[in-house]
Amino acid sequence: MTTPPIASVSLDLDNLWAYLKTHGDAEWERMPSFLPAAVPRLLELFGEHGVTGTVFAVGADVEREDGAKAVAAFAAGGHEVANHSYRHEPWLHRYSHTELETELARTEEAIVAAGAPAPVGFRGPGFSVSSALVEVLTERGYRYDASTLPTWTGPLARAFHNRTAPPGDPRRDELFGGFSQVFAPNTAYRWRTCSRAELVELPVTTMPLLRVPVHGAYVLALHQISPRLARRYFATALRLCRALGVSPSLLVHPTDVLGATEAPGMEFFPGMAVPTERKVALLGWMLATVRASFTVVGTGEHVTRVRPLRRDRDVRGLDRGR
Ligand SMILES: [Zn+2]
């Protein structure tokens, strides 16, 4: 019997305050958290489906009790804990070398203080990435970055998001990247940098050929129209991955298991009208479907097991196309 191909599941532990901050709602400064509601549900779902994945944690949360408890619980459950920046600002691509070092270092310290090993993987908030970020990750000994989403839908997601956002913040005009992201590879590769050290990029997989995202908010938005359509969409993406030899890196968020009343202020976000039980059932089905055709691991393990084919993408190209 042959072993099924590799897929990875990662969870971006984005908190309520982070969504409100990106959206420009002043309420974020009170740092509201929905982690106590979401984390036990996610741990249970992962356990139920035998999924050991990677959790990308935000430093500002991990320094607090609920975030530290979440990191400790995921680490105890065998999940890898990786770095998702300190302040969760999706305009991270504007940060200087020094600002990036601070973001990474503070989060690394918080993760270690919470009882997890020092992170070797990073994902930029809102898929933000720059050549400076790749350089800093390489210098700090990271093994991989997982910040890219090779799709053409970034500008549409931005227009949808900013439709309800208060006007006036030019940084919001650069959210989620430009159309050129569609030309980025959909499988693991290496960055070409000035440094001799290597950093692997593991993109968040989009539907092969069509290059449309297949993670939570998108599947849930379809689910609001038709549950059957949402399931068919996700199953088609996995089938195409298998047919074309793409090892999928799949992304989950706390909002995938939270109802509208548990995320006050997030009514603007796609899929928030779907009730909690239906969300939990859908995510459970998604995890079971991936498990049925793939060997599911975390992103760090994914990078180890799937050898990146080429050292092919020049890091300087990252600063164009925003
Ligand atoms: Zn995030």
- Give me the CATH code for the 6-319 domain, please: 3.20.20.370
Tokens of 64: 């607090």
Q: For residue 1, report the distance from its CA to the centre of ligand 1, in Å.
A: 38
- Residue 310 is predicted with a pLDDT of 60
pLDDT digits (tens, 9 = 90+) for 269-278: 888 889 999 9
Q: For residue 238, report the distance from its CA to the centre of ligand 1, in Å.
A: 23
Sign of CA dihedral 226, 276, 153, 144: negative
Q: For residue 113, report the distance from its CA to the centre of ligand 1, in Å.
A: 21
Q: For residue 148, report the distance from its CA to the centre of ligand 1, in Å.
A: 12
- Residue 40 is predicted with a pLDDT of 97
Regions in the chain scoring below 70 on pLDDT: 1, 160, 168, 170, 179-180, 182-183, 308-312, 316-317, 320-322
Give the C-alpha separation, 171 to 105, whole Å. Answer: 24
| Domain range summary for the chain, segments of one domain joined by + | 6-319
- Residue 321 is predicted with a pLDDT of 52
- Residue 322 is predicted with a pLDDT of 52
- Residue 320 is predicted with a pLDDT of 58
